[in-house]
Amino acid sequence: MSYKKIAVLGLLIAASFSACAQEELNPVPSEGSNQESSSKRAEGASKEEPDSKSVASSAKTESTVTAGQSQKDESPDSPQLLNMLTTPFVEVDEYWGVQPFAIKSNQLGVQFHNGIDYFTSEEKVAIQAVSSGRVMFVDVYERKPDGAFQINLAWQTPTGEVLSYSLEPSAGPADQAKVANQKLLAQKMMDSMTIRVGDQIVEGQLLGYLYGQDEWAHVHMSLKASDRGPEKWLCPADYMATLEGSDLLPKSLIWADRLYKGSKRPQLCNY
């Protein structure tokens, strides 16, 4: 064999070994291995973290729902509103006139009055509570400067307002004889009281009796926003649910006609 043939044969053998080695390093994948690789790639993709927009959107939604649920769970119930009866008289036909509420500077120009007066010509009238509450005081009061006597009482409502009554045998100035009689009537009214300081009372409960001297005997009913802070008077008629079906406004016009001779037509709340 010549030298050239031996060299060619050596090159062929070397090429053959190289091809075999390459085939072992890069085997052709089978169909099963392709499926397995695809499955692993899909699994890996499913475990990838979402993009930043998805995270923000998800967090916002979760935060909104949580905040809404928290607000709904933690928010208190709607505050209870004061609801009063329309009159402190047990019998609504026992008062003939009503002096309405009026602030100091009102459009109609009626005199300032921090409550509502219920006038009666009866000698004895049963008085009821227009709301529930806790009694703050019940006292005989000597009114200055004329020395007239009356009963003052008050209670705090469940919603925080203060309701007060003044049981007055008459209105306006009184002479000595009238004052002396009022003192006796005030003691009779005090003796008739069914309540004491600290008592819990309920709407419609009998409180006692008003004893009158003349047709101007009345219960002055006032409503204050609270027992703390600056004094703030409220119009009682604003807190009467059955006001529309009552006769308070017509009877206030009767009072206005007697006092103003028909020149004014006040409302129950003159602001």
- Per-residue model confidence as pLDDT tens digits over 23-61: 444 444 444 444 444 343 333 333 333 343 333 333 333
Q: Give the span between the Cα atoms of 130 and 183, in whole angstroms.
A: 26
Higher pLDDT, 153 or 54: 153
For the chain, what is the mean pLDDT?
Answer: 80
Q: Which of 16-30, 132-146, 150-164 has the highest mean pLDDT?
A: 150-164
Read off the pLDDT of each residue in 194-215 and give the average, rounded to a whole number.
98
Q: Give the span between the Cα atoms of 70 and 75, in whole angstroms.
A: 8
Residue ranges and CATH numbers for the domains of the chain are: 3-74 (no CATH), 92-270 (2.70.70.10)
The pLDDT score that the predictor gives to residue 79 is 58
**CB neighbour class for 4 (10 Å; exposed up to 12, middle 13-18, buried from 19):** exposed
The pLDDT score that the predictor gives to residue 145 is 79
HSE of 120 in the Cβ direction (CA atoms, 13 Å)?
A: 26
Tell which phi-psi region holds residue 147, choosing left (phi > 0), alpha (psi between -120 and 50) or beta. left
Read off the pLDDT of each residue in 142-157 and give the average, rounded to a whole number.
93
Beta carbons within 8 Å of 162's beta carbon, 6+ residues apart: 136, 154, 155, 156, 223, 224, 225, 226, 227
pLDDT-derived band at 179, boundaries 50, 70, 90: very high
Q: In this predicted model, what pLDDT tens digit does every residue of 223-264 receive, in sequence order?
A: 999 999 889 999 999 999 999 999 999 999 999 999 999 999
Kindly give the pairing relationship between strand 148-156 and strand 162-168. antiparallel
Angle at 222 between CA 175 and CA 149, to 5 degrees: 20
Whole-prediction pTM value? Answer: 0.71
Read off the pLDDT of each residue in 154-164 and give the average, rounded to a whole number.
98
| CB contact burial 188-214 (16+ within 10 A = b; e otherwise) | ebbebbebeeeeebeeeeebbbbbbbe
The pLDDT score that the predictor gives to residue 26 is 44
Q: In this predicted model, what pLDDT tens digit does every residue of 68-91 receive, in sequence order?
A: 333 334 344 545 799 999 999 999
